[in-house]
Amino acid sequence: MERNLRFDEYVDRRNTKSLKYDFAAERGATKEALPMWVADMDFKTSSYVIDALKQTAEHGIFGYSERDNSFTEALVDWEKRRHGYDIKPEWIINTPGIVFALATAVKAFTKEGDAVIIQQPVYYPFSEVIVDNDRRLISSDLVLNEETHSYEIDFADFEKKVKEEKVKLFFLCNPHNPTGRVWTKEELIKLGDICVENGVIIVSDEIHRDFVFEGKHIEFTTLKKEYEWQTIVCTSPSKTFNLAGLQISNIYIPNPVLRKKVKYQIAASGYSQVGVMGLVACEAAYRNGDEWLEGVLKYLKENREYLEKRITGEFPKIKLIRQEGTYLSWLDFREYGQSGAELKKRLLTEAGLWFDGGEMFGKTGDGFERVNIACPRKTLEEALNRLKRL
């Protein structure tokens, strides 16, 4: 039986080596500021995961490990059960995280000076792994529809840039962090066709796919055989079950030629097996975590509604961007007329709030803030009360 369904419970995360709670000074924030930035949740994970980890911990030997048949079976079953997605065991590669997989793809499929395209504002390590590997960062910026408060793709701009810049690789973020979009079938097909026609390899980062509140998450590679052949799918239990610190992700590469190139780069980086705790946690979550996940989804949906109600009712200068997926809300503070740096300072010092400043996600993110709402309602309530000090 699942025991961790009390999402209202406050769990003190201070002094647990938590990036969110224990490194404020190092990261330019204050100890008093309510941390609602990095994307992990303030909820305890499934009791099944904790039990499985305890059993491994009590065994007391933490030697090398590897993905075994039991793990693979749980993963294949999860994909089928939750996403209607048939994956083949030979497609799977494990990496210690998705950002590692993104950087590996850059090295495997492009050379120095090649162009990689992204859609800003987007999760900032997308840019970092491109720039840090001396590749050219090209962004086909998403366009905010000011009436619907939702972001749209400028397909003509995307295609033009793909052709003119001779783009080799595309990082697709679906659901999209931070804009909260869950791309529709039509949007994915338009993007996919442009990539196929121009020989662009796609990395489909689907880390947030279990958090969808409006619309439906579509597995990109199931749309067309050509997409399957040209795509690397990045998935992970880390957001879904709050396991980011255990460093495990599952990457699917149906095309054996692409898979070989990725495996080569992983070996070249000196990385071999993932850690035993990550394997154990992922298997337990995928086998037995459904009830916990349903509980979290219900709770987040209510948090999302609570936030929407209060922002629209009490904060006329702030606009909430429509959040179809993820547990990250994207708030438009542009009416304050301040730069990202000024806004961040005011939020920290006047309101005692530590959000992720929008400018980190690309220049079109300036004036926006990303707020992590995966916390007990009381925390969210407190955050909104503090926001009134601005």
Ligand X SMILES: Cc1ncc(COP(=O)(O)O)c(C=O)c1O
Alpha carbon distance 327, 102 (integer Å):
22
CB nearest ligand X: which residue? 97
Cα–Cα distance, 271 to 273 (Å, whole number): 7
Compute the distance between CA of residue 325 and CA of residue 116 in angstroms, rounded to an integer: 25
Q: Which one, 5 or 101, has the nearer CB to ligand X?
A: 101
Structure tokens that stand for 208 in this block: 């947030």
User: Is 96 or 352 the residue whose CB approaches ligand X more closely?
Assistant: 96
The residue among 177 and 179 lying less far from ligand X, judged by its C-beta, is 177
Binding part of the chain for ligand X, among 23-31, 92-100, 255-263, 354-362 by CB under 6 A, reads 92-100
Contact with ligand X (CB under 6 A): which of 47, 127, 177, 179?
Answer: 177
Least separation in angstroms between residue 4's CB and ligand X is: 22
Residue of 244, 282, 374, 387 interacting with ligand X (CB under 6 A): 244
d(CA 382, CA 338): 24
**Least distance in angstroms from the C-beta of 96 to ligand X:** 8
- CB neighbours (10 Å) of residue 322? 16
> How do 201-205 and 231-235 pair as beta strands?
parallel
- In whole angstroms, the minimum distance from the beta carbon of 191 to ligand X comes to 16
Q: Does 238 bind ligand X (CB under 6 A)?
A: yes
Q: Which of 236, 288, 329, 372 binds ligand X (CB under 6 A)?
A: 236
- Residues 249, 329, 364, 379: which binds ligand X (CB under 6 A)? 249
Tell me if the bond preceding 237 is cis, omega within 30° of 0. no
Q: Which is nearer to ligand X, 47 or 231 (CB)?
A: 231
DSSP one-letter string for 283-320 = HHHHHH-HHHHHHHHHHHHHHHHHHHHHHHHH-TT-EE
Q: Closest separation between CB of residue 173 and ligand X, Å?
A: 5
143's enclosing H/E stretch is strand 143-145
**Integer Cα distance of 34 and 83 in angstroms:** 35
Q: Which is nearer to ligand X, 46 or 95 (CB)?
A: 95
Q: Smaller CB distance to ligand X: residue 205 or 228? A: 205
* Alpha-carbon span 34 to 42, nearest angstrom: 12
Q: How far apart are CA 326 and CA 181, in angstroms?
A: 8
* Residues 147-176: x where in contact with ligand X by CB under 6 A, - otherwise, as a string: --------------------------x---
Those residues whose C-beta lies under 8 Å from the C-beta of residue 320, and which sit 6 or more positions away, are: 149, 307, 308, 311, 312, 329, 330, 331, 332
Over the window 23 to 62, marking each residue x when it contacts ligand X by CB under 6 A and - when it does not, the resulting string is ----------------x-----------------------
Show contacts with ligand X in window 96-115 (CB under 6 A): 97-99
| Count of residues that interact with ligand X, criterion CB under 6 A | 13
**Environment class of residue 65 by beta-carbon count within 10 Å: exposed (0-12), middle (13-18) or buried (19+)?**
middle
Count the residues in the chain: 390
Q: Which residues bind ligand X (CB under 6 A)?
A: 39, 97-99, 123, 173, 177, 205, 207, 236, 238, 244, 249
